[in-house]
Amino acid sequence: MIPPYGRPAQELLAELSALKAADLPVRGGKVTAYVYDTGRPEVHEAAHLAYAEMLEVNMLDPTAFPSMVALEKEVVGAVAELLGRPGAPGIFTSGGTESIMLAVKAARDSRPGGSQIVVPVTAHPAFHKAAHYLGLEVVPVPVDPVTFRASTAAVEAAIGERTVLVVASAPSYPQGVVDPVEEIAALASSKGVLCHVDACVGGWLLPWLREAGADVPPFDLGVPGVTSISCDLHKFGYAPKGASVLLFRDAALRRKAYFASAAWPGYTIINATVQSSRSAGPLGGAWATLRSLGREGYLELGRTTLEATRRLVKGVGEIPGLRVLGEPEASLVAIAGSPEVDVFVVSDEARRLGWFLQPQLSYAGIPANLHITVTGVTLAGIDALLKVIAEAAEAARRKGPAVVPDGLPELIAGLDLDALDDATFTELAASVGIELGGTDLGGMAVVNAVLDALPADTRETVLVRFLSAMYA
């Protein structure tokens, strides 16, 4: 509600602090998803100040605010230099989803009449979202059940006359492994099809890991056949949220990502991104972060991240009932359980100990697991993290697997969820132990187990209703 009279800034900030009391902490490394922490407060402070400095600059019109053009050229140039093609044209976007959306749009508009994109099942759902918005069809391809990398043979079989884009991940988020980019890009090129590498997570990480001694396969614009690549700076670039870069092999393809309209009597409309008006704050924050850390800062973060990842993988392998899926080339680690150790219960137990481990549901033959993103701050707390995982696993062993009420998945799958209003859905959620009106969502094992038992399309419907009810 808008108050009848204005209030002082300090009161407003105090109210915001109170509202954030139930939020997960964004610093310290106890939240192993969603947030990226260097462990260097001065870097984040520099980014915040630059963000505020550029906050009111509107990126809608580059002729009105040349400062944002200069900053974008620097930031895009830095990414292009790191990712194998100095001077490559690019676009600064709000995040990986928008970068992917624009890559898919550019591919569609450069291949009139095409209607399909070939996407590994481990690729980010942003490709499905882009296809949904842009009127395209996703052709899913399987991954190797042991390595979790995309099957090159399956990719080749999936490419057809209507294919406008083939996708590879570097790495795929779920297991942190890099798809065979060289093989997939060569296949796409041989068939005259564009190839996008989703390096939203790994683009600003893998080069530093490689320099620190990791064995990282070729994945960037230096690989023949790769025509575009996305790289989020608000992940392992450690910039504030809202910062990603989409690079193209040439400017002609970048122009296909743009949108212009002259079919009205108002101001000139030409957009490089999905958004029109947008703050240059994230751009300023990204620019300041890159300059605040510098090459040596990122290399040091790469070294510590690599060491922490190796220690995590080794340590998890020594915990009874748990195992790491695949051999992660990036600092993303997926931990599967066993019949005796339910990963959803492990997640709840870790949450009670003050740590957030991200649950991932089973799909396409890949078991349910816990996802951990290792960042620059993880090494300092790696022993504590492993201790928490071991304690949570032992507690999960004692408690046993989450018990799904008999018949509930079948009941949900048989319901016409679209016919339920938000109040009725809230009651249904309460029946499995989740109060949508509260702030404590810590006990999620049964909820995740129920979702895991449902087919993907029903999961999606449930999640849409879940979101709607939360905001009701």
pLDDT for res 441? 52
pLDDT for res 472? 82
- Name beta bridge partners: 248: 228
Q: What is the set of domains in the chain, with CATH numbers?
A: 46-289 (3.40.640.10), 408-470 (no CATH)
How sure is the predictor about 201, in pLDDT bands with cuts at 50, 70 and 90? very high
pLDDT for res 432? 63
Give the residue among 451, 199, 167, 150 at the shortest CA–CA distance from 326. 150
Phi, then psi, of 247 in degrees rounded to 5: -105, 150
Q: Give the C-alpha separation, 314 to 308, whole Å.
A: 10
User: Looking at the predicted structure, is the pLDDT value of residue 433 above 90?
Assistant: no
pTM, full prediction:
0.95
Mean residue pLDDT of the chain comes to: 95
DSSP 416: -
Q: Give the C-alpha separation, 228 to 215, whole Å.
A: 23
pLDDT in tens, 438-463: 555 557 898 899 899 999 999 999 89
Phi, then psi, of 137 in degrees rounded to 5: -110, 135
Q: Give the C-alpha separation, 122 to 176, whole Å.
A: 10
- Name beta bridge partners: 196: 167, 228
Q: Give the C-alpha separation, 303 to 298, whole Å.
A: 9
Give the residue among 231, 75, 242 at the shortest CA–CA distance from 67. 75
How sure is the predictor about 415, in pLDDT bands with cuts at 50, 70 and 90? confident
How sure is the predictor about 57, in pLDDT bands with cuts at 50, 70 and 90? very high
pLDDT for res 417? 85
Question: 377-399 in b/e burial notation, b at 16+ Cβ within 10 A?
Answer: bbbebbeebbebbbbbbbbbbeb
Instruction: Cite the beta strand spans of 239-309 per DSSP E.
Output: 244-248, 259-261, 269-271
pLDDT for res 440? 54
Lowest mean per-residue pLDDT among 84-93, 179-188, 396-405, 434-443: 434-443
Residues in Cβ contact with 100 at an 8 Å cutoff, skipping those fewer than 6 apart: 124, 126, 127, 129, 130, 196, 198, 200, 230
Could you tell me which residue, 426 or 256, shows the higher pLDDT?
Answer: 256
Calculate what percentage of the chain has a pLDDT beyond 90: 87
Q: Give the C-alpha separation, 38 to 30, whole Å.
A: 13
pLDDT in tens, 259-280: 999 999 999 899 999 999 999 9
Cβ atoms of 359 and 344 within 8 Å: the answer is yes
pLDDT for res 448? 92
pLDDT for res 408? 81
pLDDT for res 1? 81
Cβ atoms of 238 and 289 within 8 Å: the answer is yes
pLDDT for res 220? 98
Phi, then psi, of 343 in degrees rounded to 5: -65, -30
- Name beta bridge partners: 118: 139, 166
